[in-house]
Structure 1
Amino acid sequence: MSHSSFGKKIHINNIDVSDLDEISSYDLAIFYLGDIKDVENLRRKIYSLEFGNWSLKLIDLGAFNQGHSKSDSVFGIQEIMRKLTNLGVYTLMIGGSQSDIDVYCKSFKSNDFIDVVSIDKFLGIGESIDKNESSNYLSRIILDENIKLSTFSNVGYLKHINNTKKISLVDKFNFETLSLGQLKHDINEIEPITRNSEIINFSIEALKSNVINYKLTSPNGIDSYEACLISKFMGQSIDCKISTINNIVHSLECYSIVSEMIWYVIDGFNSRYIDDFENHDEFKIYHTEIDGHNLKFLKSHISKRWWVEYIDDRIISVKNQLIPCSENDFKLSQMGIISDRILKRMKNKFV
């Protein structure tokens, strides 16, 4: 291991909930759920990578040991997440599954609205919202009165394994979805989806089977380059507090791609930029009217990101009226079309 490697630059510590207050000086914490059988092999892969040109303090909190019961484990995970979030430490958790997302949601304050993104080949919802099977994590989040879900987005779902009833049900809630085909057409459409999300989940099952050498997943999926770019978007998300990479497969190929994904999450986190909306010189502004609807598009000269605002004095916003969007959304508006993204986000934001 070279002196410039990741393993030489990260502080390594075992998890002790009582001592978490002592790590408030760190920017990012990595920890693993205990269901990863070969955590040390995964760490070896990560630590062998070169440390980036980052001005960050990183800590590896080690593996979380499961409690005597499921409720003990859930409580322990929530306590760790809650403390790290309150300390302002960005959490990158490796392991577990997407069915744990509702547990992570409950680590936020009870009055916090949460945006959740899941990169997953499954939509995470049953044909009926009240079907509460273990795989239907989105159903549980929607039904849980202790979770205030602002919006949910899925990236990379496969149409041939999600029936039309599930797709229609997700659409009914005005949740944004980006199928694998749409992702392949323009991967940069993911960035506006992740930009303001508090929790971003990446299921390794969304990857092509040959990427992780695992025949039980689909031959169609996200490739290794796309996985790393999406991981960078995860880290760059300005509101994200918790990112997870889960459904780890016990193969050297999986350890290799996961280690690189972790590297790019950190690289994205290091390059986070908060646009200053008070500084009007920082933006190019375009006004568009479509069928009597007034839209104001903003493009940052610095970050190159786009936003849109719906201008109507009669509408009261429950959150910030600025909606993350892409240049493609703006181009559609020039043709007299309000994109599905903008329509769904407006419906979720305004009352």
Structure 2
Amino acid sequence: MGFEFLQPVNENVLAFREELSVQALGKKITVHSAEDGIPELEEVKIAFVGILDNRGQGDELRPHVHLNYIRKEFYGLFPGNWHLNMADLGDIHAGESVQDTYFVIKKVTEQLIKQGVIPVFIGGSQDMAYAVYRGYDKLEQMVNYVTVDAKFDFGKENEAMSATSYVTRMIIEEPHNLFNYSNVGYQTYFNPQEEIDLIEKLYFDVYRLGEVCKDITVSEPVFRDADFVGIDMGVVKSGDSGNIVKFMPNGFDGKEICTLARYSGISDKVSSFGVFNHNDTRQESVLVAQVLWYFTEGVNFRSNEFPFGSRENYTKYIVAFDDEDVVFYKSDKTDRWWIDVFSNNIANNKVKIPALLPCSYQDYLAACNNEYPERLWKAQRKNVI
């Protein structure tokens, strides 16, 4: 249910693909064409799906919207030493109403994740992320959503859903699957103080643009704990994205956004990914293609450390506080760090959270300096409120 609504990849792109070198990425991807139909997914790990509906940005339906530029740029790149199978399932065209588009995205997400395939959505306004999130409804799990965005995208309770208000719907609408919302790269002057206060009240994790640019590794544990990651291309400064349609003087540079995409891919937990609010230009398509490349490379090099396996491959560190011990684990394989949640007396509360909470080496050093880990404190608050 859902795949029947997918439209084949554009013939112009297929013709371009035929002319590529046999080593090019486009030749490694099984493609949905009018002639061959939807590819078999039995051995596929990543499935790319285009979304041709930008109405959430306040645009009228634009019949010329396509993702041909992105596909050509992406297909023309060369893969690294990759071993997983990929498919391009074509496009979800705009439905008669935006609700129709949401319905198809939800069904496609649900079906792919059930089959063990990571859906990678390309294009569409960012409210389409809400439909991806709703794709988890029948999967019986709480969802950690991470967005890379200059804005929080909250709206008033009765406001119509759009690319700038969809997160509110995630929070307030049933079923309540959202365990955590995280924002990486917000710019303070784009967000009302009331929304910043609400973020603190709900114990969500947010990281200012300057904080991440100063040390991008502070964001890695956030992606390691994510189920779904959505990138708003407006978070990239125009000098790097080529987006002069809506000029952004500040934001991540090209290298930084690709690093964040790789963090998303290398996370053993991320099961869906999306790049939204693309402005449908040839210039920005170059960077979007490289973002997709880095996400795919990350998936190829997953270390399979989630869920937590044998503790023989981890070094245990105990930091004593006045009323409890905080236990950290460091992977001998990847040097990544976790906090042991079970040892901190919140495992049996009403919301089930993982036994291990991803953290950074800086979190461990702070604990050694008698600073209680903020990520653990927020997890505790979310479990007792």
User: The residue matched to 1:98 in structure 2 has which SS?
Assistant: coil
| AA of the residue aligned to 1:144 | E
| AA of the residue aligned to 1:219 | P
State the Cα distance separating 1:97 from its structure 2 match: 2.2
User: The residue matched to 1:71 in structure 2 has which SS?
Assistant: helix
The runs of 5 or more residues in structure 2 that have no matched partner are 1-19, 54-63
The answer (yes or no) to whether the contact 1:130–1:139 under 8 Å persists in 2 is no
The match for 1:108 among 122, 136, 140 is: 136
Distance in 1 separating the partners of 2:96 and 2:257: 35
The answer (yes or no) to whether the contact 1:212–1:249 under 8 Å persists in 2 is no
Distance in 2 separating the partners of 1:130 and 1:113: 25
In structure 1, the residue matched to 2:25 is 6
User: The residue matched to 2:127 in structure 1 has which SS?
Assistant: helix
Q: Which moved more, 1:321-330 or 1:267-276?
A: 267-276
Distance in 2 separating the partners of 1:198 and 1:70: 24
State how many pairs are aligned. Answer: 348
The answer (yes or no) to whether the contact 1:288–1:295 under 8 Å persists in 2 is yes
Change beyond 3 A, Cα 1:50–1:278: closer
State the Cα distance separating 1:209 from its structure 2 match: 1.3
Indicate yes or no: 2:284 matched with 1:265: no
The match for 1:68 among 75, 79, 96 is: 96
In structure 2, the residue matched to 1:122 is 151
In structure 1, the residue matched to 2:261 is 231
Q: TM-score, normalised by structure 2?
A: 0.85
The answer (yes or no) to whether the contact 1:124–1:138 under 8 Å persists in 2 is yes
| AA of the residue aligned to 2:101 | S
Deviations 1:298-325 (A, max 9, x none): 0001021100124245762422231110
Indicate yes or no: 2:218 matched with 1:189: yes
Distance in 1 separating the partners of 2:33 and 2:229: 24
The answer (yes or no) to whether the contact 1:5–1:50 under 8 Å persists in 2 is yes
| AA of the residue aligned to 1:3 | V
The answer (yes or no) to whether the contact 1:12–1:61 under 8 Å persists in 2 is yes
| AA of the residue aligned to 1:29 | A
Indicate yes or no: 2:158 matched with 1:145: no
Distance in 2 separating the partners of 1:222 and 1:342: 28
User: The residue matched to 2:83 in structure 1 has which SS?
Assistant: coil
The answer (yes or no) to whether the contact 2:50–2:92 under 8 Å persists in 1 is yes
| AA of the residue aligned to 1:337 | E
User: The residue matched to 2:206 in structure 1 has which SS?
Assistant: strand
Following TM superposition, where does structure 1 have runs of at least 4 consecutive aligned residues deviating by more than 3 angstroms?
128-133, 312-315
Distance in 2 separating the partners of 1:302 and 1:105: 32
Q: TM-score, normalised by structure 1?
A: 0.93
In structure 1, the residue matched to 2:316 is 285
Deviations 1:316-341 (A, max 9, x none): 24222311100010010011002322
Distance in 1 separating the partners of 2:174 and 2:381: 21
Distance in 2 separating the partners of 1:77 and 1:254: 24
Aligned-residue identity in percent: 26
In structure 1, the residue matched to 2:17 is none
Indicate yes or no: 2:339 matched with 1:308: yes
In structure 2, the residue matched to 1:172 is 201
Equivalences for residues 187-226 of structure 1 within 5 A: 187-215=216-244, 216-226=246-256
The answer (yes or no) to whether the contact 2:265–2:297 under 8 Å persists in 1 is yes
The answer (yes or no) to whether the contact 1:106–1:147 under 8 Å persists in 2 is no
The match for 2:46 among 28, 34, 45 is: 28
The answer (yes or no) to whether the contact 2:31–2:38 under 8 Å persists in 1 is no
User: The residue matched to 1:336 in structure 2 has which SS?
Assistant: coil
Distance in 2 separating the partners of 1:44 and 1:155: 29
The answer (yes or no) to whether the contact 1:95–1:245 under 8 Å persists in 2 is yes
State the Cα distance separating 1:109 from its structure 2 match: 3.5
In structure 2, the residue matched to 1:295 is 326
In structure 2, the residue matched to 1:37 is 65
| AA of the residue aligned to 2:24 | S
| AA of the residue aligned to 1:214 | N
Distance in 2 separating the partners of 1:147 and 1:268: 30
User: The residue matched to 1:27 in structure 2 has which SS?
Assistant: strand
State the Cα distance separating 1:133 from its structure 2 match: 5.2
Distance in 2 separating the partners of 1:103 and 1:221: 26
Distance in 2 separating the partners of 1:268 and 1:298: 22
Deviations 1:40-86 (A, max 9, x none): 12111111101221111110111211222222222211111111111
Change beyond 3 A, Cα 1:155–1:331: same
The answer (yes or no) to whether the contact 2:145–2:180 under 8 Å persists in 1 is yes
Deviations 1:232-275 (A, max 9, x none): 11111212111000111233321110011111100000011122
